[in-house]
Structure 1
Amino acid sequence: MRLIFSFLALIITSGAWGASFTIAPPSSWVDPITLPDTTTLKAADPAYGYDYLLINHQVNVAESETFDQNAYRLTSASALGSGARITWSFDPTYETLTLHHLRVIRDGVVQERLREGVVQIIQQERDLDRHMLNGRLTAFVLLEDVRVGDVIDYASSRRGANPVFGGKYMEDLSTGWSVPVRHQRIRIIVPSDRPLTHKQLGDSVLIPSSIRSGNDTILTWEGRDLPVIQGEGELPSWYTPYPSLQLTEFKSWAEVASWAVPLYALPDVVPESVATKAAELTEGLSTAEDKTIALLNFVQQEIRYLGLELGPGTHRPTAPADVLARRFGDCKDKTLLFCTLMRASGLKAWPALVNTDYRDHIKDWVPSPYAFDHVIACVSRGQALWWVDPTLTNQKGGALYRGLPDYRLSLPVDRNTDALAPITRPELAQRRMEIDERFDVTAFDAPARFKVVSRYTGLSADSIRAYFARTSLDEITKEYVNYYATAYPGLTSTKPVSISDRAETNTVTIEENYSVPDLWKSEDSEPNILKANFYPQIISDYATQPSTRVRTMPLGISYPVNVLLTTRIHLHKDWEVPLTESTVTDHAFRLTDKMVGTGRLVTINYRWESLADNVPADKIASHVSAISRVRGTLGYNLTHNKAIAAANANTAGTSDVVPRFRFNWMPIVLILVTSVVMFYVGRHFYALPALMPPPVPAPDETNLVGLGGWLIVVALGVIGRPIFCIVQLIREFGAVFNLDTWEAITTPGSATYQAAFGPIIITEVIGNTLLITGGLWLAVFFFKRKRAFPGAFIALMVFILLFLSVDTWAVDTLLKSDEPEKTKTISEITKVVIQCAIWIPYMLKSRRVKLTFTR
């Protein structure tokens, strides 16, 4: 039906506006520009489709007349369709359109195509889908016989200005383009007693100039061969890649507010219909807040949004009584009606102008009504202000809970306004989502029950209400199932999705119930390993990488966002998971996650907070890196090893499952690599020549030469230590050679997993291998009576003491060893300390040692 209405709007008006334009030469004040010789001008890159030769915009402020001329060459066939369609838009309520020429230049030959009968008038209403009608007309021509290489040159003038601005001039003009532009000129003729405030935003290359001509000032901005600007996707709403020029006669924001005050003036005597409705809505209510909410709810829900922005109606609101009678209006109309209802109830509220996209960035603009595209209301609430938007729907809650978009800055329509004012939003009204997930696992091979309870507040609650209001319950259930099915394939709904709404706190709660048939899965290569993955889908939705990662422009981020996700997994057996926590912080977001398991409950917490609405271009690389870290760690696995479980059950004689053995090559590789390194180190020291001649024994010292005395005790230790270390390595780490065991203790989510297990075991394997190979070399040095033996002996004793101390600290700190194990380890360290205290001085002082180890 909407398409039919739009089509009729085009057809019906096409013949009714034949006299809405004239064909005539431009006014005498226009300064013409001659186009370059296109036959000698090299064409621009055909990929752009257009090669603009001229963009010429001139304004005579005193005459309220604007002249525009555009000339472009078509450089590709893809541009023929749009390039041959010429349009001029104007508002017939206050503007007249004059067409000057429409030329096609081919091979240097000018063809004038503008004549009676070729111009059609239509009323398009481009904003009809946004429930807005502006009444603007479009004159258009569909050029025939247009070819690649042709130059299209057309010019027109519009005379008249919107009377709502009281004769003041203002304009926003683009000074940067996405296609080649060889020449752009902006020329403004303004009476010298009407000074303009102007500002170039962005990286404009147009050069300004100013001259006096009689009683006028002529301002000019001109540039040639403008750089082509390539926009990037995912930009913040307030950022535009194209520079612009702003001009205004308004000197300050106070002057803009003064302009708006009479437009939004509340009637001295409230119309009877409005007063009656206010009394009806507030009957029985005693507090100012309750009355305000009743009036606001009425305007939000009962006055539908539709804007008739015809002529002055672009900025002048409709009378409140008329809005109430017809039950529709735009933001201006609904806000003024709300403020009038408030006055009728003895309460105070006034309109405030905001910008929905550029928000607080308008503070850098020149003062102008064009800085605003929306109107909200400001309510006096004691010493505080309460900002509300009468155009929003599906809202509930009082002053502390009712949501408001992040407008940030406003211009209150009040005679005392002298600057832009910040908009404050209550903390409890912020957009927030709290999602609780619960899994109930009764067996590894049984379906798991999955329940999701989501609580939404602020604008999030408004969005959910609107979604449920316009969508059937069957469709909602289907969409929710498909959402979670991406993480849990085969998931089915066991109950319809339900909603509960707590109006007083503006909280909407959604409950979902599912069955997950195959939560625990194994892979063909590892049939004994069962894994259950718990994936935070909602966090993943926010932790997305930009499509354009090498950027020169900021990246827009959803803001503000505050999501708390808690996943509780109730298992059918004990599952100890050590506490793990991590935080990833970036310029634009912070993600914290925590996992812990005690008894049969494993809990996973995520919190995603957006910290800014954009990522600057110079921080994109670090942002991409941070998102990669987040996505690389999202989700947790719980792992069950059937082989180990079967082995434990067989020990108790209760299982008929025979566990298999898969060899783990990792410790073998560590042992071999360490042994090879020690072989070359030992051979190096074995081959070192003596730096000094050996000591000569005195006649009475000959009995001290040789392996005797206390060296017999040393010999026993030298021989026994490698054997002891080999036995200990096999006894302590034999299970590590089973790949199933290794995966069970090193796989996150396993019942036996601890993050420090893997690194500590690897360190201990390497350390014990060093002790074995070092002990073997020490035995060689001993029986070969090498002079390097005492130093090697001392080094090995010191290494044993340090290794045992560090290993004890690591096990106690990272693995939280129990008291008996801690006492046993401390006893071993004490023994080594005593041995060092005895044998290190012996090696340094003993005459037998010096006379025996001389080679």
Structure 2
Amino acid sequence: MENQMVTENYSIVKPAVWAGSMEDQEIVAAIKDSDFAQKQMSEGRDYCYFLNRIHYTTNQENSEYSCMAYTLNEPSNLERASVMEIVVEENEVYQIHRISVIRDGVLIDKIPDMKIKVLDSENESSGGILSSNKKINVTIKDLRLYDILVLEDSRVKVFTERDFMRKKFSKYVWVSPDNYWGYGNYRFTFINEREEPVAYKKMFFRDEQGHVIEPELNQLKKGERFIFEAEHYINTVDSGREIFPFIDFATESTWKDLSDYIAGIYQEIFDTASLEAFAPDLVQKLNAISDQDEKLQFAIEYVQNNIYYIFNADEMNGHRPQDPAITYQNKQGDCKAKSVLLKVILDYIGVESSVVLVNFRVDYYMKYYLPSLLSFNHVINKISYKGEDYFVDATMRDEFGRIEKRGFIYFLYYLEVKPGLELQQRKSYRFPYYCIDEKVDFSVKGNTGTLEMDTTYRGNRANSLRRYFKHTNKREIIDSWNNSLFYTLNYSGDRNGTDVRGIFRDAAIEIISDDKVQNELKIRYTATIDNPYFTDAQNNRFLMYFDRSILKSAVRDYTHKDFLFWHNFDSEKYEIHLSTDQKIDTAEKYTVQESNINNPYFSYTSRKNITKSGGTVYIEYQPLINLEIPAEDFEQFRKAHHIVADSNFGLGLDIIEPGFMNMLKFGFKKHFK
């Protein structure tokens, strides 16, 4: 390439020496329509003749190089190739080395047909997400179906002082490619030019029988390369049931060494922070509260609701937190800033706490990853109070309650910012309260039913429902309840397609009380229902109430081979009363059936009281949450949920129709059943 163009965010240049480069004749020679290529294209795949990817890391920069040639046989791929968007971070440059097409066997340079625009990538700035990222928009005119696109480019990120963490530590995860593509030749290279060794760990690769191979762990010293290469390559992973193979690369270290390093950074902040000095008005408010429970709740909610959360991507990429005095003065900060301020406040009121590093998005993989501070993307607080540990996310809003009644955060792995600690696993948990506590009264006289539901929501349920009621139209809320009850009362079985507003007459829903100390929200739903019975194809009538939200279909349908089942259900309690002025079958099997399940991971009871004109079912469900169900226990766990689904999640009454002939019919049916 003779002409070179350089701007702040992109450049048109030759590739770096370490990347190498293919000459035009080499590229044309590499485009071979082999039997493998023909087979992939005949099956409707687009085909990549070759892909050469390189990750190059030093203590001053990270670079990604790619050279590939692939077909544009599908209109969707042609559209994506014609308009590409690349987001670059601060101090990152997108380098274009070659854009060409092979058309009728001729290599055509498309750089003259290329237009580039640089746009701000600030789509979410109004939501408190700040970033100096730029979006590079590349438009290539006159690409045609059945062209072969040759794209050679790089991304070069030079570290600034703000990237001190990435200067010191390397972290990169290679994931096997999408299984849509077929590759004639696939090559990935990791080049370590750092002063420190980089360890790598190969995970979830499989043998010819599909069994996961034991992880491979090794290291790369400065100047060494790791190469993964395959010919006639298709990723055979069953993406619905298996984890894609991946390789984790990280600067060789231990969790204890990393916790020592990060603890020192945070301790410098805590050693100089004085709440009395920078927040005397807040200290005055805290001192005016005599009850310690109330003081703790005030401290948490002050930081959550009064300090505006700003996710500054450039700041988050480092790990040095903002001074709490600045956070307090500006009333804004990222997760690190808010968590540090909360800890300073908790230190002042005498509540033990610490800052912890987490990554909710890849929490499952933390047990497999190599030790690295760059595996974390979020900071929260761990609070030790009255012999229990609680986790609080200072970036959340509209969360309420005493510490034991606040919303529960689901995750397993975290690194506490204290010296000499390993990666820790959070303990499993049982709710000390029922997240849903519901009482239902469905009474039918003649052909009219009156339905009343009183429900108390606690913990996460109370917090989320407050937000829902706050931001949702009242009519939409009522429709949501009506739609749920349409299935609960089994009206979907005999009047599907009917407008639910016509079924649930005079439906109303109101908040009865909202206790933000106990974090309890109570609501009442009422409706009048004409034709309240479900009628089957034989004109038999039933009064039914089976709440499908009690069923845990995710358990019964679970099929993943590699992921363990993540148990995170709420505790629930129901008292359901059904009454009618008709005679009912008090001996019907499912009407009187009860259940009592004591699985190691949940308990479930369904107790009943049946009378001649109705019945009551009492359901209690208490799960052990925030854990993965061991593979050897899962089928028994699944079986227990099948028992719940076998008519043990509600109550159904069989109506005995009046009249002598109906009584004979009923007696005959019962005798020969």
The interval holding the TM-score normalised by the smaller chain is: 0.7 to 0.9
Select the residue among 58, 62, 69 that pairs with 2:55.
58
Greater Cα radius of gyration, structure 1 or 2: 1
1:106 is aligned to 2:103: yes
Select the residue among 540, 543, 556 that pairs with 2:553.
543
Any idea what SS the aligned residue of 2:357 has?
A: strand
Cα distance change on mapping 1:421 and 1:573 into 2, 3 Å: same
Q: Distance in 2 between matches of 1:212 and 1:561?
A: 46
Cα distance change on mapping 1:521 and 1:241 into 2, 3 Å: closer
Give the letter aligned to residue 656 of structure 2. N
Aligned to 1:581: 594
Q: Distance in 1 between matches of 2:66 and 2:141?
A: 20
Q: Distance in 2 between matches of 1:218 and 1:402?
A: 49
Give the letter aligned to residue 606 of structure 1. I
Any idea what SS the aligned residue of 1:47 has?
A: coil
What is the deviation of 1:228?
2.6
Aligned to 1:199: 201
Q: Distance in 2 between matches of 1:431 and 1:111?
A: 68
What is the deviation of 1:171?
1.4
Q: How many residues align?
A: 628
Q: Residues 544 and 627 of structure 1 are in contact (CA less than 8 Å); yes or no, is this contact kept in structure 2?
A: no
Any idea what SS the aligned residue of 2:136 has?
A: strand
What is the deviation of 1:296?
0.5
Greater fraction helix? 1
Aligned to 2:467: 466
Aligned to 1:275: 279
1:637 is aligned to 2:640: no
1:132 is aligned to 2:126: no
Q: Residues 447 and 516 of structure 1 are in contact (CA less than 8 Å); yes or no, is this contact kept in structure 2?
A: yes
Any residues of structure 2 matched to 1:412-431 within 5 Å, and which? 412-414=416-418, 416-424=419-427, 427-428=430-431
Cα deviations by residue, 1:629-674 (Å, 9 ceiling, x for unpaired):
655636543233234xx4xxxxxxxxxxxx337xxxxxxxxxxxxx
Q: Residues 555 and 616 of structure 1 are in contact (CA less than 8 Å); yes or no, is this contact kept in structure 2?
A: yes
What is the deviation of 1:461?
1.8
Give the letter aligned to residue 111 of structure 2. L
Greater fraction strand? 2
Q: Distance in 2 between matches of 1:536 and 1:368?
A: 45
Q: Residues 316 and 377 of structure 2 are in contact (CA less than 8 Å); yes or no, is this contact kept in structure 1?
A: no
Identity fraction in percent: 17
Cα distance change on mapping 1:223 and 1:134 into 2, 3 Å: farther
Select the residue among 219, 239, 245 that pairs with 2:226.
219
What is the deviation of 1:452?
0.9
1:514 is aligned to 2:527: yes
Aligned to 1:831: none
Aligned to 2:436: 433
Aligned to 1:78: 76
What is the deviation of 1:437?
0.9
Aligned to 1:568: 577
Q: Distance in 2 between matches of 1:155 and 1:524?
A: 66
1:479 is aligned to 2:477: no
Q: Distance in 1 between matches of 2:99 and 2:424?
A: 48
What is the deviation of 1:412?
0.9
Cα deviations by residue, 1:258-291 (Å, 9 ceiling, x for unpaired):
3433543325142667422431431322344432
Aligned to 2:499: none
Q: Residues 211 and 218 of structure 1 are in contact (CA less than 8 Å); yes or no, is this contact kept in structure 2?
A: no
Aligned to 1:37: 30
Any residues of structure 2 matched to 1:118-157 within 5 Å, and which? 118-125=115-122, 131-149=128-146, 150-157=148-155
Q: Residues 435 and 452 of structure 1 are in contact (CA less than 8 Å); yes or no, is this contact kept in structure 2?
A: yes
Give the letter aligned to residue 247 of structure 2. L
Q: Residues 119 and 134 of structure 2 are in contact (CA less than 8 Å); yes or no, is this contact kept in structure 1?
A: yes
Q: Residues 541 and 654 of structure 2 are in contact (CA less than 8 Å); yes or no, is this contact kept in structure 1?
A: yes
Cα distance change on mapping 1:277 and 1:600 into 2, 3 Å: farther
Cα distance change on mapping 1:354 and 1:152 into 2, 3 Å: same
Any residues of structure 2 matched to 1:427-826 within 5 Å, and which? 427-428=430-431, 432-441=435-444, 443=445, 445-488=446-489, 490-493=503-506, 495-520=508-533, 525-526=538-539, 529-540=540-551, 542-543=552-553, 554=563, 559-572=568-581, 577=586, 579-582=592-595, 592-598=605-611, 602-608=615-621, 631=645, 633=647, 635-643=650-658, 646=659, 659-660=660-661, 738-743=664-669, 746=670
Q: Residues 211 and 219 of structure 1 are in contact (CA less than 8 Å); yes or no, is this contact kept in structure 2?
A: no
Q: Residues 288 and 347 of structure 1 are in contact (CA less than 8 Å); yes or no, is this contact kept in structure 2?
A: no
Q: Distance in 2 between matches of 1:82 and 1:241?
A: 27
What is the deviation of 1:298?
0.9
Cα distance change on mapping 1:273 and 1:100 into 2, 3 Å: farther
Aligned to 1:678: none
Q: Distance in 1 between matches of 2:52 and 2:624?
A: 41
Aligned to 1:802: none
Unaligned runs of 5+ in 2: 1-5, 208-212, 492-502
Q: Distance in 2 between matches of 1:550 and 1:381?
A: 40
Q: Residues 434 and 573 of structure 2 are in contact (CA less than 8 Å); yes or no, is this contact kept in structure 1?
A: no
Cα distance change on mapping 1:306 and 1:600 into 2, 3 Å: same
Q: Distance in 1 between matches of 2:83 and 2:650?
A: 54
What is the deviation of 1:49?
3.5
Cα distance change on mapping 1:252 and 1:377 into 2, 3 Å: same
Q: TM-score, normalised by structure 1?
A: 0.65
Q: Residues 121 and 131 of structure 2 are in contact (CA less than 8 Å); yes or no, is this contact kept in structure 1?
A: no
Aligned to 2:3: none
Select the residue among 383, 406, 413 that pairs with 2:410.
406
Aligned to 1:809: none
Give the letter aligned to residue 381 of structure 2. A
What is the deviation of 1:619?
9.6
Q: Distance in 1 between matches of 2:190 and 2:295?
A: 51
Give the letter aligned to residue 425 of structure 2. P
What is the deviation of 1:52?
5.6
Cα distance change on mapping 1:25 and 1:299 into 2, 3 Å: same
What is the deviation of 1:406?
1.4
Any residues of structure 2 matched to 1:139-178 within 5 Å, and which? 139-149=136-146, 150-161=148-159, 162-178=163-179
Any idea what SS the aligned residue of 1:606 has?
A: strand
Q: Distance in 2 between matches of 1:228 and 1:50?
A: 13
Q: Distance in 2 between matches of 1:281 and 1:229?
A: 62
Aligned to 1:849: none
What is the deviation of 1:148?
3.0
What is the deviation of 1:574?
8.0
What is the deviation of 1:83?
2.6
Q: Residues 401 and 428 of structure 1 are in contact (CA less than 8 Å); yes or no, is this contact kept in structure 2?
A: no
Q: Distance in 1 between matches of 2:199 and 2:374?
A: 14
What is the deviation of 1:257?
2.2
Select the residue among 17, 41, 46 that pairs with 1:28.
17
Unaligned runs of 5+ in 1: 1-16, 647-658, 662-734, 747-756, 760-855
1:343 is aligned to 2:347: yes
Cα distance change on mapping 1:210 and 1:266 into 2, 3 Å: closer
Q: Distance in 2 between matches of 1:521 and 1:418?
A: 60
Using CA pairs under 8 Å that are at least 6 residues apart, name the structure with larger relative contact order, 1 or 2.
2
Cα distance change on mapping 1:564 and 1:200 into 2, 3 Å: same
Cα distance change on mapping 1:200 and 1:115 into 2, 3 Å: farther
Cα deviations by residue, 1:434-484 (Å, 9 ceiling, x for unpaired):
22111233x3x1422211111222212221122122224444233323332
What is the deviation of 1:365?
1.2
Cα deviations by residue, 1:53-105 (Å, 9 ceiling, x for unpaired):
2041131425524241131222322311113333443223x334433222223
Q: Distance in 2 between matches of 1:168 and 1:398?
A: 40
Q: Distance in 2 between matches of 1:611 and 1:283?
A: 38
